[in-house]
């Protein structure tokens, strides 16, 4: 990407905001969307509407960080037409997360930290691979929302999350990364594990699903539910390996005899955002 190291960065998504801070470039970020609340210093950033080209330009950025899935393509195109440098990443897997770390590291003048972040992601994934190798493979779904039932499909980073934890995603392919599906998919006899981000609305949605016909196998304990740390699991940023490690740890515990629902702890505070709000302006 042409141009020298950035000096004024506007981030258009929470995950790229986190990446900038993880690379030691947080001091260069002058604005981010309201959903960008991690790490703590990001909460003090000026807020910008990711869809407002004029507001973005008014901040005089020499670099805009965006995501292919979560940022409006028309906004990105217009920014480029106006001569603003835009770096866009599309994290659909852990390999792509490592690539994003290296790319953004180079663009913001933090190539060394970018390489270290990428190497750390790769090393942690390798350690997880060794742990997951001892687990039985099971059919699974990653639930983004219960009502309506929205799941992660092949081609999403959540699909890669499942695969690396020795889980085979049975979500349909070809309908987008996060399709709305028939709740009867929960009755599929192959299904052994459901993974979901741990947040209040999702827990309440599961409670209602357990009372429905479609939730019969979940209610009986035939399908185990694993709750993951919500932000780490919902944002394809530097904390995504935390979600992978938590999933494998939960699987290790769940494969032992015990209740059908694997629960790592209490749900987040009621005022926390839903996974859809927490991700980069939508679902990537």
Q: What is the pTM of this model?
A: 0.87
pLDDT of residue 257: 59
Measured from the Cβ of residue 25, the count of other Cβ atoms closer than 10 Å reads 23
The pLDDT assigned to 221 comes to: 94
pLDDT at 105: 96
Could you tell me how far CA 44 lies from the centroid of its own chain? Answer: 22
Domain ranges of the chain: 9-123, 136-278
The answer to whether 9-123 and 136-278 have equal CATH topology is: yes
pLDDT for 3 equals 60
Contact 217, 187 (CB under 8 A): yes
Which of the listed CATH numbers 3.40.50.300, 1.10.3720.10, 3.40.50.1980, 3.30.70.260 matches domain 136-278?
3.40.50.1980
The reported pLDDT for the residue numbered 142 is 98
CB-based contacts of 126, cutoff 8 Å, min separation 6: none
pLDDT of residue 194: 98
Low-confidence ranges of the chain (pLDDT < 50): 1-2, 259-284
Q: Does domain 9-123 have CATH number 3.40.50.1980?
A: yes
Pairing mode, if any, of strands 138-145 and 150-151?
Answer: antiparallel
């Amino acid at each position: 990407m042409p141009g020298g190291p950035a000096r004024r960065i506007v981030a258009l998504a929470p995950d790229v905001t986190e990446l900038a801070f993880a690379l030691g470039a947080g001091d260069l970020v002058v604005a981010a969307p309201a959903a960008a609340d991690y790490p703590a210093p990001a909460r003090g950033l000026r807020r910008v509407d990711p869809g407002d080209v004029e507001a973005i330009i008014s901040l005089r950025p020499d670099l805009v960080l965006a995501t292919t899935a979560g940022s409006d393509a028309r906004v990105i195109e217009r920014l480029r037409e106006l001569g603003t440098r835009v770096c866009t990443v599309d994290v659909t897997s852990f390999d792509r997360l490592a690539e994003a770390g290296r790319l953004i590291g180079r663009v913001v003048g933090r190539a060394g930290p970018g390489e270290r972040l990428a190497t750390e992601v790769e090393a942690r994934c390798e350690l997880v691979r060794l742990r997951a190798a001892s687990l039985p493979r099971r059919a699974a779904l990653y639930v983004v929302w219960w009502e309506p039932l929205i799941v992660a499909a092949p081609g999403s980073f959540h699909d890669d999350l499942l695969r690396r934890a020795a889980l085979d995603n049975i979500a349909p392919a070809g309908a987008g990364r996060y399709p709305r599906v028939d709740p009867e998919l929960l009755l599929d006899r192959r299904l052994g594990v459901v993974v979901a981000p741990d947040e209040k609305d999702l827990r309440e949605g599961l409670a209602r699903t357990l009372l429905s016909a479609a939730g019969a196998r979940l209610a009986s304990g035939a399908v185990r539910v694993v709750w993951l740390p919500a932000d780490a699991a919902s944002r394809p940023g530097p904390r995504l390996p935390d979600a992978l490690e938590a999933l494998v740890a939960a699987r290790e515990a769940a494969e032992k005899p015990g209740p059908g629902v694997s629960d790592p702890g209490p749900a987040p505070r009621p005022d926390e955002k839903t996974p859809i709000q927490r991700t980069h302006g939508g679902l990537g």
